[in-house]
Structure 1
Amino acid sequence: MTAHSGRHFLQIPGPTNVPDRVLRAIAQPTIDHRGPDFAELTLDLLPRVRAVFGTSAPVIVYPSSGTGAWEAALVNTLSPGDHVLAFETGHFASLWREMAERLGLTVEFVPGDWRHGADPVVLAERLAADTGHRIAAVTVVHNETSTGVTSRIPEIRAALDTANHPALLLVDTISSLGSIDYRHEQWGVDVTVGCSQKGLMLPPGLGFNAISEKALAASRTARLPRSYWEWSTILDSNEQGFFPYTPATNLLYGLREALVMLEEEGLPAVFTRHDRFAAATRAAVRGWGLEVLCADEREYSSSLTAVLVGGAHDADKVRRIILDRFDMSLGTGLGKLSGRVFRIGHLGDLNDLTLAGTLAGVQMGLELAGVTIDPGGLQDALEVLRAE
């Protein structure tokens, strides 16, 4: 590897850059997680978390990855053999399906091309055919991190309501929470899964379940085995400001600081900022003469953009050149997209100049890799940034 000066550009779709304010908060001395200072921290923190999810209901916080929060959503609401309807929107939707099957659930996997989100029309057809209400839950990845495609959750909810179907709606917001407008309560979601290392601007290590009253009721009769993930014991402890296990104390310090930062900017402004960055990135991609993987403009992600390199070019070669020459990390193609795409993360703690530098590095890397592009792509992005 080449020696580099300056800071590393971490432009993957997560983990994202951790702001200095959050790093300083995490660096505080660890305190007694059974003492009054910790209870004060928790009782201040939990209401703040609800606002990011768009809910007034409880949000469970785990010391876990997003994968753990996936499992918690399933085991707290479902029983062995229950039928789950899932949509193949990308690599992570496929992994969630595999988890559900390993847990003993029966998954009906709606095939997809990894360029579109969950289809509300197809959902309506599947629900209409399910006259016996065998489907216990519908799982959707809101923002598929492997593809840069955002499913239209309000339309998914509308399909369930129109069919008058009782299935639970479980939604993964791992790469959209804190970056893309999301409304757990208003959109009628039963369990929302999130994690710490993307739009919340923290290191990995915290997983979240936002839950509805319907989901909480389902948890009382669900029969999948669970202990660590059990909602009820956590909710009981949270009432007094504690957890039934040793929590990730220092990450909770950081979470509180990150939430304060989001409050200071205001969530509408945060979402608008991410929308602008995404529009500028897509302008650059099109200006270069390349193709955005997401095929439906209604489903463009504001967290990341997946770029099809095309031809005989290897997207991973482009990434390697950019890392070596410009000290910038881009996301790799996952699963069936391996070698075909690279992913530009534009979420979390960044500004116009950070994005401009990122796109300049991508343009230079494409040229060095021998990919034929129009160098006007960067200027197209700058025009979008300058116009706002």
Structure 2
Amino acid sequence: MTLAHGRQVLMIPGPTTVPDAVLQAMHRPAIDIRQGELVDMTDRCLADLKTLFGTAGETFIYAANGHGAWEAALSNTLSRGDRVLVLESGRFARGWGEMGARLGLDVELLPGDWRRAVDPAALQARLAADDAHEIKAVLVVQIDTASGALNDIPALRRALDAAGHPALFMVDTIASLACVPFEMDGWGVDLSVSATQKGLMTPPGLSFVAAGPRAMAAHASAGLVTHYWDWTFRMGAAHYQKYCGTPPEHLIFALRAALDLLLAEGLAAAQRRHRLLAEAVRAAVAVWAQAGALAFNIERPEERADSVTVVLMPDHDPERLRRFCLETCGVTIGETIAEIHGHGFRIGHMGHVNAPTVLGALASVEMGLSVLGIPHGAGGVQAATEHLATALASERRTQAVPAAAAG
């Protein structure tokens, strides 16, 4: 028997569900790339990206996935032989470093624990030992979707400052932008990268770099600059220069529609929605884990991301559960990757998600655990629902107090 007939639900950590309004925005003819509406649309997208990143710096749009933004960041600020320090908390900062090695950078890994966020004290100690300031940049992700770790970016900035080290601080926000708070300028981040296919609710294919004053100063002497990624060329007066050629029109139409949806909701409200839904997922997983067969990959609650939850079940085949969710319920949950491949599953809860999608996905997982005989604590979905109900009731009471006082 299948319950999957109906609209499929995608609950992986990217690409995420694209809203109907964003899909519809792409269903239109191509337009002039040199003047008029598209020029205005580009200017507004670049300005709104500054709002999302929390920066007064320069923003750039690339027709590329997030790996393209990685390369753009490195090639515009560094030279062959420069040393960069990569902060490991899963797979993706390490991947950024591997790209740097292919570019001719001297890449050093600060080893981390796949079940922990980056340790600021370890970063401070390594930078304090670099008396000659050979390390030119520090690379880290805010959220690693492979491990589910949330790194404390302000604490890492404080570690750089405590060590008195001048390295550029570069942060990947691909899985965090618009999902959790990020204040590039306020937190002392020199450069940030992101992409469309996660919290920004747009099909894969566009990525972004935000560069602050120190990154722009480094660009002046960077030896790895190539024409396509070059910030100087992309800041030229002609509209086509912003894309180094023909703009990816229909992806820009989609991005504009997605930004309109996000800004209409309000950035703080979107982040609050992500936090509440993530807490609901964690409430369910905590109950399921009581039987001992399932566990959070990230051990400390404060280090768990609000955009993805990674669950370990090493003594049971997670593919059976994933197939059940897909084939019986029409819900796609993610597999674990890299070092923990085959040891669990991932629930993505970012972008165009709401209570019905998250609670429905949790109910499908819980049903699968029962049907497949995987030991788990009962009542995970109820715990998730009760958590949301309690949080919403508290908000209603808080809102009612000022209203009563005003009356």
TM-score with structure 2 setting the length: 0.92
How far apart, CA to CA, are the structure 2 residues paired with 1:11 and 1:49?
Answer: 25
Distance 1:313 1:243 in 2: 48
Paired residue for 1:365, among 358, 361, 368?
368
Partner of 1:61 in structure 2? 61
Q: 1:385: how far off?
A: 1.5
Cα distance per residue 1:50-106 (max 9 Å; x no partner): 111111222110010001001111111111111111112112122112111111111
Alpha-carbon shift at residue 242 of structure 1 (Å): 5.0
SS of residue in 2 equivalent to 1:176:
coil
Secondary structure at the aligned position of 2:276 is classed as helix
Q: Which residue of 2 aligns with 1:104?
A: 104
* Map of 1:302 onto structure 2: 306
Task: Note closer, same or farther for the CA distance 1:171–1:242 as it changes in structure 2 (3 Å cut).
Answer: closer
Kindly state the Cα deviation for residue 270 of structure 1 after the two structures are TM-superposed. Answer: 0.7
8 Å Cα contact 2:125/2:163 also seen in 1? no
8 Å CA contact retained: 1:39, 1:242: no
Residues 88, 110 of structure 2: 8 Å contact kept: yes
Aligned 8 A contact 1:34 1:242 in 2: no
Unaligned ranges ≥5, structure 1? none
Partner deviation per Cα, 1:174-208 (whole Å, 9 max, x = no partner): 11011111111111111101000000000000010
For 1:136-151, list aligned pairs within 5 A: 136-151=136-151
**Which segments of 5 or more consecutive residues in structure 2 lack a partner in the other structure?**
393-407
1:317 to 320, 328, 332: 320
Alignment CA distance shift 1:3-1:380 (3 Å): closer
Q: Mean alpha-carbon deviation: is it higher for 35-44 or for 241-250?
A: 241-250
Going from structure 1 to structure 2, the CA distance change for 1:373 and 1:81 (only over 3 Å counts) comes to same
| 8 Å contact kept, 2:128–2:164 | no
Shift of 1:28: 2.1
The whole-number CA distance in structure 1 between the counterparts of 2:215 and 2:68 is 17
Secondary structure, counterpart of 1:124 in structure 2: helix
> In the alignment, residue 329 of structure 1 is paired with which amino acid?
T
Report the AA paired with residue 321 of structure 2: V
Hey, what's the Cα distance between the residues in 1 that align with 2:318 and 2:111?
A: 25
Partner of 1:37: 37
| Deviating 4+ runs (over 3 angstroms) | 1-4, 237-243
Q: Which amino acid aligns with 1:219?
A: H
Q: 2:297 maps to which residue? A: 293
Paired amino acid for 1:132: A
Identity over the aligned pairs, expressed in percent?
Answer: 45
Matches within 5 A, 1:235-274: 235-237=235-237, 242-274=242-274
CA distance in 2, matches of 1:134, 1:316: 45
Partner SS for 1:197? coil
Number of the residue aligned with 2:171? 171
Structure 1 residue 365 displacement after superposition: 1.6
Counterpart secondary structure, 1:138: strand
Q: Distance in 1 between matches of 2:101 and 2:43?
A: 36
Residue 178 of structure 1: SS of its match in structure 2?
Answer: coil
| Separation of aligned partners in 2, 1:2 and 1:34 | 52
Aligned AA (2:303): E
Instruction: Count the aligned residue pairs.
Output: 387
Q: What whole-Å deviation, never above 9, does each CA across 1:317-359 have from its counterpart, x for those lacking one?
A: 2212211111111111111111112000111111111111010
1:64 alignment partner AA: A
Shift in alpha-carbon separation, 1:242–1:131, aligned structure 2, 3 A: closer
- In angstroms, what is the RMSD of aligned CA positions? 1.7
Tell me the secondary structure at the aligned position of residue 24 of structure 2. Answer: helix
Give the match for residue 190 of structure 1: 190
User: Where does residue 399 of structure 2 map in the other structure?
Assistant: none
Q: Specify the SS of the correspondent of 1:342.
A: strand
Contact 2:2 2:329 in 1 (8 A): no
Q: Distance in 2 between matches of 1:235 and 1:371?
A: 56
For residues 188 and 325 of structure 1, do their structure 2 counterparts lie closer, same or farther at Cα, with a shift above 3 Å needed? same
Higher-Rg structure is: 2
How far apart, CA to CA, are the structure 2 residues paired with 1:237 and 1:23?
30
Give, in angstroms, the shift of residue 244 of structure 1: 2.8
Residue 355 of structure 1 is matched in structure 2 by 358
Cα 1:317–1:192, aligned 2, differ >3 Å: closer, same or farther? same
Note closer, same or farther for the CA distance 1:349–1:125 as it changes in structure 2 (3 Å cut). same
CA distance in 2: counterparts of 1:110 and 1:8, whole angstroms: 40
Cα distance, 1:239–1:27 mapped onto 2, change above 3 Å: closer
Q: Is the 8 A contact 1:63 1:205 kept in 2?
A: yes
Structure 1 position 220, deviation (Å): 1.0
Distance 2:266 2:362 in 1: 26
1:28 aligns with 2:31: no
On the 8 A contact 1:308/1:340 being kept in 2, the answer is yes
**Displacement after TM superposition at 1:19 (Å):** 0.7
Stretch of structure 1 that moved more, 63-72 or 321-330: 321-330
Tell me if structure 2 keeps the 8 A contact 1:181–1:271.
yes
For 1:307, give the aligned amino acid: V
Residue type at the aligned position of 2:75 = V
Q: Given that residues 38 and 242 in structure 1 are in contact (C-alpha distance below 8 angstroms), is that contact kept between their aligned partners in structure 2?
A: no
1:123 maps to 123
User: Structure 1 residues 314-323 or 8-17, which shifts more?
Assistant: 314-323
Report the TM-score when normalising by structure 1. 0.96
